[in-house]
Amino acid sequence: MKNLKGACIFGQSGGPTSVINSSAAGVFIEALKQQNITAVYGAEHGIVGILGEKFYDMSKEDPKELELLKYTPSSALGSARYKLKDVAEDDTDYKRILEVFKKYDIRYFFYNGGNDSMDTCNKVSKYLQSVGYDCNVIGVPKTIDNDLYGTDHCPGYASAAKYIATTIMECNLDAKVYNFGLVCIIEVMGRNAGWLAASAELANYKGLGADLIYLPEVPFDVDKFVSDVAAVCERNDNKCIAVVSEGLKTADGKYVGDFKAGANDLFGHATLGGLAGILGGIIKERLNVKVRPIELSLMQRCGAHLASRVDVEEAFNAGAFAVKSAVAGETDKMVVFERDYNAKEYSCKPVLMPLELAANTERTVPLEWITEGGKGISEEFVKYALPLIQGDAKAPLEDGLPRFAQLKKIYAQK
């Protein structure tokens, strides 16, 4: 625990979310208040910007724009998918980071991301310790996948879940409108964990959900899927809504979505498409029903107009808490959420966990929450997720459209 004085740098990493910038706002607004923080930098494209010495001087930004960051989706500083090598294998990047940190007197490092990003954060933290460079390092969690270890939930998840549940309710009303059938196959993200697919159950709870929900936690059997859909069609005038996680795998571990596109369009070219299209093709062929495949694609992770207020506030607080903790002397930790399940009302607070516990681990949906032989979700999940999606928090309208933050992005010079 060392109280340090110097500059801080914050970086965003991995896939964007609706609220990753809320955490950025929390970090920046809190850091700009702190006496012991002499400069506040935002790294362009995460660790890549640190290596390239490209970062913005956040004190030059209009405070109103920093406030608008709370409601602006995607990573305003730019994100990265850069993996640091093990230091034993190649320490080039680490030496460069140290050089940059020394040059700018960086004594606080905040990194915002998911599993891979926490791995980066952990590696940097351990390296700086090993060379005796004083720098307080705190990871700030972020992922729509909700798969980080050690936290009740992850900032970004709730807003994606709210987007998915709301959209499924609306699509349910649309898809069942005719006096003829339609099988709707809705694909959501989640490569290894089914938290996002499970959020369809929130729509079910409101009576306008999916008939079938498939998570990657359970091996996917195509024949069983066809017979599940057939059974729903049989009892429901050929109307069926199935939600599938992009990460569905067959029992032998193959992703169902990994297909090789052939030369099959009007022009003799390969077409691109996802799991929903593949499963849609199978259903159409085997059951001879009308099918519409729907991918919620980028929208589920950047649909900030549907962000959860709880999520926006928690993401902001996670950022501010990271700064306060680091200034108080904490280092080598990640912010996690601890929920009090005994409290009458939803109650959740940020606490710290050793950074190495978060790196590269994955938290999947408890198998006991997956019901009906792998095609349903239990009420326990609804109890878990419903408090997270409460309230609205979105950018003000200007010309009828969201007014997102506009940063000047003035590079720091030294």
- Beta carbon of residue 391, minimum distance to a second copy (angstroms, whole number): 7
Q: Which CB, 59 or 390, lies closer to a second copy? A: 390
Assess 367 for contact with a second copy (CB under 8 A). no
Nearer to a second copy, 27 or 389 (CB): 389
- Nearer to a second copy by Cβ, of 105 and 221: the residue is 221
Applying CB under 8 A, does 348 fall inside the site for a second copy? no
Judged on CB neighbours under 10 Å (0-12, 13-18, 19+), 252 is exposed
- Starting at the edge strand found earlier in the chain, the sheet holding 239-245 runs 212-214, 239-245, 182-188, 291-295
249-288 residues near a second copy, rule: CB under 8 A: 254, 256, 258-267, 269-273, 276-278, 280-282, 284-285
Exactly one of 16, 113, 114, 216 binds a second copy (CB under 8 A); that residue is: 16
* Cβ-based nearer residue to a second copy, 222 or 230: 222
The smaller minimum CB distance to a second copy, of residues 99 and 265, is found at 265
Residues 394-413 within binding reach of a second copy (CB under 8 A): 397-402, 404
Applying CB under 8 A, the site for a second copy has a residue count of 84
Q: Is 197 in the site for a second copy (CB under 8 A)?
A: no
The residue whose two tokens read 């640190």 is: 50
Of these, 22, 23, 72, 317, which contacts a second copy (CB under 8 A)?
Answer: 72
Residue 145 C-beta: closest distance to a second copy, Å: 15
CB of 79 to a second copy, least distance (A): 5
Q: Determine if 150 is a binding residue for a second copy (CB under 8 A).
A: no
- Identified catalytic residue from 145, 228, 311, 332: 145
Q: Does 366 bind a second copy (CB under 8 A)?
A: no
Q: Respond yes or no: is residue 145 known to be catalytic.
A: yes
**CB closer to a second copy, 23 vs 74:** 74
331, two tokens: 């280092």
In whole angstroms, the minimum distance from the beta carbon of 174 to a second copy comes to: 4
Shortest distance, position 70 Cβ to a second copy, whole Å: 14
Q: Which of residues 170-189 bind a second copy (CB under 8 A)?
A: 170-171, 173-175, 177-179, 184
Position 230 contacts a second copy (CB under 8 A): no
- Active-site positions? 145
